[in-house]
Copies of this chain bind each other. A is one copy, B any other.
Amino acid sequence: MNIYDAIKKRHSIRKYKPDPVPEDKLNRIMEAVRLAPSGKNGQPWRFILVRDAATKTALVPACKGQGFIAQADLVIVACANEGESYQNQGGYMKSWPLDIAIALDHLMLAAAAEGLGACWIGAFIEPEIKKILSIPDDLRVVGLTPLGWPDEDPKPKPRKPLNEIMFFEHL
């Protein structure tokens, strides 16, 4: 799929059919993730792909009751190793939040191109996710997404007009 079509087609999907994600689609999506750029090419990421029904169900309360995540074939949990990331982004932060966001963005766009649905989950309780999946102390959980066959076709959300976000030479 054309990149602009994938960007337009990508919506947050909150209703899923239970059908499995075919292996060839998953492979292409994860290859898109693998090729994502990151600060100093640190690739400070680990992705846990949860297909087990009991584990998916256990993740729901840790995602503040967002039950639709367990409908999808997969829940993907994106983790970052702070120490592997660029330590001086902008002179004030480590790059891992940016790195993981880029990789997950590749995932979302590839999913849209494959006709699959995904949804950035930002509302979650990190210690509960870590407990359920036995994620070690040196990793942060940065985001989650279900990945599966969409059972809805939501309308695009509004966006600010370009003249509120783009400025030539100065603000």
* A140 contacts across to B, CB distance below 8 A: 90
Interface of A is mostly: mixed
**CA of A167 to CA of B28, assembled, Å:** 16
- Do A171 and B134 form a contact, CB below 8 Å, given A3-B110, A159-B34, A165-B47? yes
Closest partner residue, chain B, to A94 (CB atom): B97
Interface 9-mer from A15-23, A35-43, A65-73, A147-155: A35-43
Chain B residues positioned under 8 Å from A110 (CB to CB): 3-4, 7
Interface assignment of A108: CB less than 8 Å from any CB of chain B: yes
Contacting residues, chain B, for A3 (C-beta < 8 A): 1-3, 6, 32, 109-110, 113
